[in-house]
């Protein structure tokens, strides 16, 4: 066996994408894992021969953004399957079934404006004797076309165009879309306009890449711009940075290869990030299943040291779980994302995690929403002297350097502008920062904890939060439930806050009357612990005796009643839907998840929340 063949076999055995591009910008090494990641070889066991679309073929389309990642499909192109609807616009979500180039056959389709689907958008039709379904599951990032009970699935990150073609003469599937369709030049537009598609799952169906140029295989973007800069000696190596390869995210490192005579080529290492969301969901489901199987969570809770969370009050079952996961996260250096409504105590929990991890190290808390947008970069990363008008001549260190060796807590992370999100992602990947105006990096060794009261997954779908950054910060998520869902903690909280405020103002200890306590216990607390603290502080200020009465408690009971009733109705409706579904489908949970159009993690979370065990 030749040395070159041996080398290629070794490269193919490595579980990481390896690509070598020579100075002529041609691929000389492209290992098996790299081909999997980029879709040059496919995991799907289904197959079809090469060919092209023909008159009379049945076309099934799912497209979550017409004109994006579908070969720049235009609404007018849909006339090829007899759809001539002037209301369909670029960016719309489209599900369609039609016959290719047959004006006599009426199509079936539905569409909606882009980003308007939050759970599931579906079309079911018995079309010309074929049982066809087209489904987009936004929550699961899944597109599914089903023909006669056979599924053709395609995962997406942002936008994608999925298509299946049924041979109009034989009734066989002659084409289905798969990962890497841009590499194979098989977008919806290209296939519909007659371009030849290559075979899948058959001998000789793999696209030949060795010797091909960059443009033969990939869309030219920032990644290959950086490759060219390194080939030209204008840039140094890049480590662990997220780039897109034909619209799919990959964690990339680029290394120059050469000697004193110059660069001969570059080695590109890639790791697939496109399935990260699915892996995160699986991880969450494991946690939820662990909770379900552990009927007595107190056994796990007893492992937590007695002095842990002494300032984070709560002894209800849901708070025991929060403390348990926080304790577990303190034993690692994983990035933690704390979520929950405003006022639930996210900053306090962040500090408790830090305290258990390394109490003597610095803890720096940053409220991202409280910094003016034009100052965020300099406040986070610092600046060198004279970097901008008004800058101190001596320069200034930023919050990240202040937290070096310890923890930085970024509260309201969802408020960061997109341009700062990019820089934060770079810090997370490379553990270095650049002060504003600096040309050399500064190394930082920090733990990052973030928090938000927003739904970051929805923010990703809206395009206001980077998906790659979301993956990075959401390694270990902890959700703090609102106070209305843990009323069992109210009495402990009341006494803790009461004593704290009395000690702060050096006042004699006060007590609540029974009626005052009842008023507090029956309130819904939309502002959570922060609102409770404000109400108690005001009550102490108003009360001249050592006993606090109901009239000292300033809360809007009428508003509370309406909020409480609405929340209760929503919860009761959700519980009833779940109970009915369990009964209707005989406890088949996978079927229920599919029928309700929700993710597994959401489904099991609601079963747990409503204490449904059926």
User: What are the structural domains, with CATH classification, of the chain?
Assistant: 3-38+209-272 (3.30.450.20), 58-192 (no CATH), 276-481 (3.40.50.300), 484-555 (1.10.8.60), 560-609 (1.10.10)
Residue range 586-591: average pLDDT?
Answer: 81
Report the mean per-residue pLDDT for the chain: 83
70 or 301, greater pLDDT:
70
Please, what's the b/e burial string for 163-198 (b: 16 or more CB within 10 A of its CB; e: otherwise)? bbbbbbeeeebbbbbbbbbbbbebbbbbbbeeeebb
233 or 338, greater pLDDT:
338
pLDDT of residue 295: 45
pLDDT tier for residue 262 given thresholds of 50, 70 and 90: confident
Residue range 67-71: average pLDDT?
Answer: 80
Q: How far is CA 190 from the centre of its chain?
A: 30
Q: Rounded to whole angstroms, how far apart are CA atoms 384 and 372?
A: 19
Question: pLDDT by residue (tens digit) across 154-203?
Answer: 877 667 889 999 998 888 899 998 877 777 778 899 999 988 888 876 65
**Highest mean pLDDT range out of 142-156, 205-219, 434-448, 482-496?**
434-448
pLDDT of residue 297: 52
pLDDT tier for residue 117 given thresholds of 50, 70 and 90: low
| Residue 106 DSSP symbol | P
Instruction: Let me know: does 339 contact 453? Beta carbons within 8 Å.
Output: yes
pLDDT tier for residue 274 given thresholds of 50, 70 and 90: low
pLDDT of residue 562: 42
* 42 has pLDDT over 80: no
pLDDT of residue 3: 63
Residue range 5-31: average pLDDT?
Answer: 84
Residue range 475-490: average pLDDT?
Answer: 87
For residue 359, with 0-12 CB atoms within 10 Å meaning exposed, 13-18 middle and 19 or more buried, which class applies? Answer: exposed
Please, what's the b/e burial string for 289-313 (b: 16 or more CB within 10 A of its CB; e: otherwise)? eebeeeeeeeebbeebeeebbeebb
Between CA 194 and CA 289, with CA 121 as vertex, the angle to 5 degrees is 120
425 Cβ neighbours under 8 A, 6+ residues apart: 242, 466, 468, 469, 472
Q: Which residues pair with 20 in a beta bridge?
A: 29, 267
Query: Which helix or strand (DSSP H or E) is residue 428 part of?
Result: helix 418-430
Instruction: Let me know: does 320 contact 298? Beta carbons within 8 Å.
Output: yes
134 or 461, greater pLDDT:
134
Among 191-200, 310-319, 413-422, 500-509, the least confident range: 310-319
pLDDT tier for residue 531 given thresholds of 50, 70 and 90: very high
Q: Rounded to whole angstroms, how far apart are CA atoms 486 and 316?
A: 6
* 547 has pLDDT over 60: yes
pLDDT of residue 293: 45
pLDDT of residue 294: 47
Percent of the chain with pLDDT strictly greater than 90 = 31
Q: Rounded to whole angstroms, how far apart are CA atoms 376 and 476?
A: 25
Closest CA to 280 of 603, 612, 610, 599: 599
* 524 has pLDDT over 90: no
pLDDT of residue 412: 94
Between CA 539 and CA 546, with CA 543 as vertex, the angle to 5 degrees is 110
pLDDT tier for residue 613 given thresholds of 50, 70 and 90: low
Q: Rounded to whole angstroms, how far apart are CA atoms 482 and 524?
A: 10
* 55 has pLDDT over 80: yes
| Residue 213 DSSP symbol | B
Instruction: Let me know: does 162 contact 121? Beta carbons within 8 Å.
Output: no
Helices (runs of H) and strands (runs of E) counted in the chain: 20, 23
Percent of the chain with pLDDT strictly greater than 70 = 87
413 or 241, greater pLDDT:
413
Q: Rounded to whole angstroms, how far apart are CA atoms 288 and 306?
A: 25
Q: Rounded to whole angstroms, how far apart are CA atoms 162 and 141?
A: 13
pLDDT of residue 134: 93
Pairing state of beta strands 336-339 and 476-479? Answer: parallel
* 361 has pLDDT over 90: yes
Q: Rounded to whole angstroms, how far apart are CA atoms 505 and 537?
A: 10
pLDDT of residue 279: 46
pLDDT tier for residue 578 given thresholds of 50, 70 and 90: confident
């Amino acid at each position: 066996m030749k040395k070159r063949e041996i080398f290629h076999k070794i490269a193919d055995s490595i579980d990481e994408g390896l690509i070598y591009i020579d100075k002529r910008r041609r691929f000389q090494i492209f290992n098996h894992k790299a081909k999997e990641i980029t879709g040059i070889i496919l995991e799907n066991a289904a197959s079809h021969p090469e060919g092209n679309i023909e008159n009379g073929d049945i076309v099934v389309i799912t497209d979550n953004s017409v004109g994006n990642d579908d070969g720049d499909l235009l609404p007018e192109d849909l006339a090829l399957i007899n759809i001539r609807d002037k209301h369909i616009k670029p960016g719309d979500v489209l599900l369609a079934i039609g016959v290719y180039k047959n004006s006599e056959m009426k199509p079936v389709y539905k569409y909606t404006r882009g980003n308007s689907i939050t759970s599931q958008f579906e079309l079911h039709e018995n079309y010309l004797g074929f049982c066809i379904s087209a489904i987009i599951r936004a929550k699961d990032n899944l597109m599914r076309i089903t023909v006669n009970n056979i599924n053709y699935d395609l995962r997406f990150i942002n936008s994608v165009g999925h298509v299946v073609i049924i041979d109009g003469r034989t009734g066989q599937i002659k084409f289905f879309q798969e990962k890497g369709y841009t590499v194979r030049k098989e977008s919806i537009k290209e296939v519909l306009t007659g371009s030849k598609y290559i075979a899948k799952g058959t001998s000789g169906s793999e696209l030949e890449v060795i010797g091909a140029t960059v443009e033969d295989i990939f869309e030219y973007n920032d990644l290959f711009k950086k490759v060219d800069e390194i080939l030209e000696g204008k840039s140094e190596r890049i480590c662990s940075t997220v780039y897109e390869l034909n619209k799919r995210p990959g964690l990339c490192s680029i290394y120059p290869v050469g000697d004193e005579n110059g660069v001969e080529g570059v080695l590109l290492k890639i790791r697939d990030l496109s399935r990260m969301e699915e892996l995160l969901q699986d991880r969450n489901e494991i946690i939820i299943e662990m909770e379900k199987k552990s009927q007595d969570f107190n056994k796990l809770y007893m492992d937590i040291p007695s002095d842990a969370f002494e300032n984070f009050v709560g002894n209800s079952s849901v708070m025991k779980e929060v403390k348990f996961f926080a304790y577990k996260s303190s034993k690692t250096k994983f990035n933690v994302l704390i979520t929950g409504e405003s006022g639930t105590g996210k900053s306090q929990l962040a500090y408790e995690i830090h305290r258990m991890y390394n109490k003597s190290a610095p803890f720096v808390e940053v409220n991202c929403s409280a910094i003016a947008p034009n100052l965020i970069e300099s406040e986070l990363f610092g600046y060198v002297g004279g970097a901008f008008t008004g800058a101190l001549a001596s320069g200034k260190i930023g919050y990240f350097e202040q937290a070096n060796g310890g923890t930085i807590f970024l509260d309201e992370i969802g408020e960061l502008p997109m341009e700062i999100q990019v820089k934060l992602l770079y810090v997370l990947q490379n553990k270095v920062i650049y002060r504003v105006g600096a040309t050399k990096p500064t190394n930082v060794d920090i733990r990052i904890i973030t928090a938000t009261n927003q739904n970051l997954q929805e923010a990703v779908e809206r395009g206001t939060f980077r998906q790659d950054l979301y993956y990075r910060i959401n390694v270990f998520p902890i959700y703090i439930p609102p106070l209305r869902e843990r009323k069992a903690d109210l009495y402990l909280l009341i006494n803790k806050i009461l004593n704290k405020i009395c000690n702060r103002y050096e006042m004699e200890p006060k007590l609540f009357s029974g009626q005052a306590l009842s008023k507090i216990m029956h309130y819904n607390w939309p502002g959570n612990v922060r609102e409770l603290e404000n109400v108690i502080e005001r009550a102490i200020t108003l009360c001249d005796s050592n006993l606090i009465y109901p009239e000292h408690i300033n809360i809007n009971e009428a508003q509370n009643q309406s909020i409480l009733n609405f929340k209760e109705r929503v919860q009761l409706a959700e519980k009833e839907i779940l109970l009915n579904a369990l009964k209707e489908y005989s406890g088949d949970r996978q079927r229920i998840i599919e029928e309700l159009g929700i993710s597994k993690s959401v489904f099991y979370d609601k079963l747990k929340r409503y204490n449904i065990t059926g």
